[in-house]
Amino acid sequence: MDLGIKGKKAIVNGGSAGMGRGASRALAIEGVELFVSARSEERLNQACEEIARDTGANVTPIVADHSTPEGREKILGVCPEPDILVTNCSPPAFTGDYKTVGKEDWLANLEVTLLSPVEFMKTVVPGMAERGWGRVVNIGTGAAKFPAEVRILSGPPRAALVNYSVAVAKAVAQNNVMINNVLPGMHHTASIADRYTRAAAANGTTYEQEVQKFIDDWRIPANRFGDADHFGDFVAMFCSEQAAFVTGQSLVIDGGQTNATF
């Protein structure tokens, strides 16, 4: 399917790995000109080179921390008028007892999970509305809709982001600016690989066994973790011309882990 976005310009924050990389790759396949930010220069450059080589798209890496004013200024200095904005960040650490999460943990995570995407939307959405076309997709977490103690640092800020983005979506839908959220469950990503590889080393098991243990404990009906590239395809669909009547929505992609009729 032609998504009708060839030649559009997109900022993808946190796009060097995992969900962000999957989104970058899916948009590149559609012929979108990409501006991909991340903090790790080596990993970012490698990801952008591979995506450009595989898809033929123009991909510009931007080494920046989008959770800081300086980082946001650098990113927007390279691409001041994006047609598409994809917000994403490295997931906050899994937590245990909620009582162990301190104020410093909250403040550090709010900068990247909530305040950064809010500031980006405040900056770029008005221009999208003036031009009469725009797409924003926030990559969040299923814990924003289905709270879990292990995702205390991830779910609440993303729930606030969903609330904010839906309010803004209603204000600009008439200008053909569509804002949506994609809320993933467990996918195979760099951070997940690191987490369960360390767990396997500590427990004398394998990565696959640790993943299966989580699947069994949390009763994921699909009996597997998701694929980040497949996840990226959904992000691209929300960025498409065909998504012109879809806004303020939050799609959970978690293999059936959570339970809701709607």
Confidence at 96, pLDDT banded by 50, 70, 90: confident
Fold of 9-186+227-253: Rossmann fold (3.40.50)
pLDDT for the residue 150: 86
What value does the mean pLDDT of the chain take? 95
Print the SS3 string covering the chain. CCCCCCCCEEEEECCCCHHHHHHHHHHHHCCCEEEEEECCHHHHHHHHHHHHHHHCCCEEEEECCCCCHHHHHHHHHHCCCCCEEEECCCCCCCCCCHHHCCHHHHHHHHHHHHHHHHHHHHHHHHHHHHHCCEEEEEECCHHHCCCCHHHCCCHHHHHHHHHHHHHHHHHHHHHCEEEEEEEECCEECHHHHHHHHHHHHHHCCCHHHHHHHHHHHHCCCCCCCEEHHHHHHHHHHHCCHHHCCCCCCEEEECCCCCCCCC
The string of pLDDT tens digits covering residues 107-130 is 989 999 999 999 999 999 999 999
The string of pLDDT tens digits covering residues 58-72 is 999 999 999 999 999
The string of pLDDT tens digits covering residues 157-172 is 999 999 999 999 999 9
Residue with tokens 């606030």: 160
Tell if the pTM clears 0.75, that is, is over it. yes
CB-CB contact of 15 with 47 (8 Å): yes
Residue ranges of domains in the chain: 9-186+227-253, 188-224
Please provide the distance, in angstroms rounded to a whole number, between the alpha carbons at the two ends of the chain.
Answer: 27
pLDDT for the residue 192: 93
pLDDT for the residue 35: 98
Q: How far apart are CA 61 and CA 48, in angstroms?
A: 6
CA 179 to chain centre: 13
Q: How far apart are CA 93 and CA 152, in angstroms?
A: 9
pLDDT at position 92 over 90:
no
Confidence at 94, pLDDT banded by 50, 70, 90: confident
The residue ranking higher by pLDDT, 79 or 152, is: 79
pLDDT for the residue 233: 98
pLDDT for the residue 95: 84
pLDDT for the residue 111: 92
